[in-house]
Amino acid sequence: MKTKIIVLFLIILNICSGALYALEISGMQIMIIAGASLKKQSIEQGSSARIVTYEVDKPLDEVISFYEAFLNGDSFSVIRGRQNNIFDASVKKNNVMFSLRIYPDVSKPRSSDRGRSPSGFRPDKAKEQETSDLGPRVLHSNAGKTMIQFIW
Amino acid sequence: MVKKLLLVIFAFFLSGCSTLYNPATGRNEFIMINSQTEVQLGRSVVNDFIKEHPLVRDQKMQERALAIGRKVAFVSERKDIEYNFYVIEDKELNASTFPGGFIFMNKGLMDVLNDDELAYVLAHEVGHVAARHIAKKIQSNMAYQLLLGVAFAGTGSGSGENAQTIAQGVDTVYNLISLSYSRKDEYEADRLGVKYAYLAGFNPYGAINALEKIKQGEGPSWKILGYFRTHPYVEDRQKALKTIIPEVAKKK
C-alpha cells in the first residue's frame, strides 16, 4: 500500500512539474521523468536490441532516485542498480525485460576535462573521474544534464 | 570535405551512447549488459554445464588451478567480478570461459602444462573476460530479451512458463561460447594473458611452450580439436607472442 502511494505521488509530482509521458516496452508503459527529451533511438547493430536515450536537465542523483522509487514501488525485479553514482540495471516484470542506464551527459566535455573522449572517460588521464564496468562514473556531471537510456 | 562529413556522422552516432572505457582494451566500448547481469547469465549456463561435465575430485588439482588463476586475475584490469576457476573431468586439451568470469580447465590440459604454461592459458581466459569478449559475442548474436531472460533465470526470477525458452537461451549461450573467437579477440587475449602472467610472477615464455604442447598433444588434427577449435589462428599467434613478450617485459 505504502509503495503504491509513493508511485502515485511520483506520478502526480511528475504531472505537476511538466508533461508526463511514457515509453512503451513490450506493451508495458514505462514512465519518463518530466522534462526529458528524446535524444536518440537506434537499433544495436547485429543484436536487434532497441536503444532509446532521453536527456533531462536535472541532477543525476534526482533522476536515479526517481527511477529507483518507480522500480521499487512497481515491484520490478532488478539486477544491479545504483553503483558509484550511476545507475545501471537489468529490469524485469512479468515477461517484460529491459536495461535501464542513468548516467551523466558527457557528450560535450568541459574545457577543463582533459583526456575525456567525446563519449567516454579516460580514468588514467583525469583524476576526478573513474570508470565502472558499464561506463562513466563521475564525481561531477556535465552541466547537470542526465541521460536515461532504455535497452530492450 | 569527406573526412569532415565522416567525423560529423561519427560524432552523431556517438552522441547519446553510453560507452565504457575498458581499461583492459584501452577503448570506449558499448556493452549492453552490466557486470552483475553478465554474472547471472554465466551462472545460469554454468549450472547446466557442471551437470554434464563433472569437476575433478582431485582437490590438489583444483587448488592448483585456483591458486594460479587467482594470481593472474588479481593483476587484471577488471576487478568488478569474482573469477572462478574449476577443473573438469575431460581429457581433451581445452579450456572454456563463461560470461561473468567462470573459467573451466580440462583435466587433460592440467596434466600436460607446467605452472608457467598454465598461468598463460588461465591468464588468456581471464583476458577474454577482462576485455569482455564473451559479453560482446553474446550481445551481438543473441536476442536481447532472451539474454535478459537467461540472466534473470540465474537469479531465480525466471517465470515457470518460460522454462523452455530459458533452456533454449542457455543452449544459445552455450553454443556461442563454443564458437571460436575472432582473430582480433585472440590476439588481444594473448597480449593480456602474457601481461597478466608476467605481472603475476610467471615466465611469459610459458605462452609459446603452452601452445606448442597443446599442438603436439592434439596430434595431426590439432586445428579442429580441443583448444584450437575455440582458440584458432595459433600459428599467427605464436609468431605474435614472440614480439609481444619482450614488449610486455620491458613495460614493467
Average pLDDT score over chain B: 86
Distance in Å, alpha carbon of A46 to nearest chain B alpha carbon: 5
Residue B155 lies in a domain: yes
B23/A123 Cβ within 8 A: yes
Instruction: Give chain B's contact residues with A (Cβ, < 8 Å).
Output: 11, 14-21, 23, 28, 30-37, 40, 78, 80-81, 139-145, 148-149, 151-152, 155, 157, 159, 162
**CB nearest A99 (choices: B28, B33, B141):** B33
Contact present, B39 and B81 (Cβ < 8 Å): yes
Q: Chain A partners of B155 at a C-beta cutoff of 8 Å?
A: 77, 79
Give the gap in angstroms from C-alpha B110 to the nearest C-alpha of chain A: 31
- Taking the C-alpha atoms of residue B88 and residue B57, their distance in angstroms, rounded to an integer, is 9
A77·B18 Cβ contact <8 A:
no
What are the tens digits of pLDDT across the range B93-108? 889 999 999 999 999 9
Residue A15, burial from CB neighbour count under 10 angstroms (0-12, 13-18, 19+): exposed
Digit-coded pLDDT (tens) for B150-187: 999 878 765 555 788 888 888 899 888 888 888 899 99
The candidate with the shortest Cα–Cα distance to A120, out of B10, B30, B28, B77, is B28
Residue A90 lies in a domain: yes
Instruction: Return d(Cα A94, Cα A73) in angstroms, integer.
Output: 15
ipTM of the complex: 0.74
With an 8 Å Cβ cutoff, the interface of chain A facing chain B consists of: 26, 39-40, 44, 46-49, 51, 53, 55, 77, 79-80, 88-90, 92, 94-95, 97-99, 101, 103, 107, 117-124, 131-136, 147, 149, 151-152
Q: Which domain holds residue B225?
A: 28-251
**Residue B149: closest C-alpha in chain A:** A97
User: Within a domain: residue B221?
Assistant: yes
| Domain count along chain A | 1
pLDDT at A86 over 50: yes
Q: Is residue A145 part of a domain?
A: yes
For residue B239, being part of any structural domain is answered with yes
Rounded average pLDDT over A99-120? 63
Grid cell for residue B186:
585472440
* Residue A89 forms part of a structural domain: yes
- Residue contact B18–A97, C-beta within 8 A: no
Provide the H-helix boundaries in chain A.
2-16, 60-73
User: Cα distance from A107 to chain B (closest Cα, Å)?
Assistant: 6
C-alpha cell at position A31 = 514512465
Count: domains in chain B? 1
**pLDDT at residue number A128:** 36
* CB within 8 Å of B151: residues ≥ 6 apart: A79, A90, B33, B37, B38, B40, B41, B44
CB B211 within 8 A of CB B218: no
Mean pLDDT calculated for residue range A10-17: 57
- Those residues of chain B that have pLDDT short of 50 are 7-16
Nearest CA in chain A to B154: A79
- What's the rounded Cα separation, in Å, for the pair A95 and B158? 9
Q: Is residue A132 part of a domain?
A: no
Q: Residue A62's domain spans which residues?
A: 2-108+141-151
pLDDT value at position B86? 97
**Within a domain: residue A129?**
no
Altogether, the residues listed in chain B come to a count of 252
Residue B31 phi, psi dihedral angles, 5° rounding: -110, 125
Q: Judge whether residue A131 has pLDDT over 80.
A: no
